């Protein structure tokens, strides 16, 4: 199901404004770092 969620997130990011990215549970710190970065929006 993780692959399906990642695919959904990638498709959803095309349709909605903003930045979206899927991460595996083992990459929790990478996800936290990514969401904490300053956005250019």
Could you please report the per-residue DSSP string of 7-38? HHHHHHHHHSSS------GGGHHHHHHHHHSP
Which of 24-37 are b and which e, b meaning 16 or more Cβ less than 10 Å from the residue's Cβ?
eeeeeeeeeeeeee
Over the stretch 1-41, which tens digit does the pLDDT of each residue have?
Answer: 788 888 887 888 788 877 777 788 899 999 999 999 876 65
So what's the pLDDT on residue 31?
A: 92
């Amino acid at each position: 199901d993780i692959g399906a969620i990642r695919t959904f997130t990638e498709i959803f990011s095309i349709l909605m404004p903003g930045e979206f990215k899927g991460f595996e549970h083992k990459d929790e710190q990478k996800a936290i770092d990514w969401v904490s970065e300053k956005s250019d929006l």
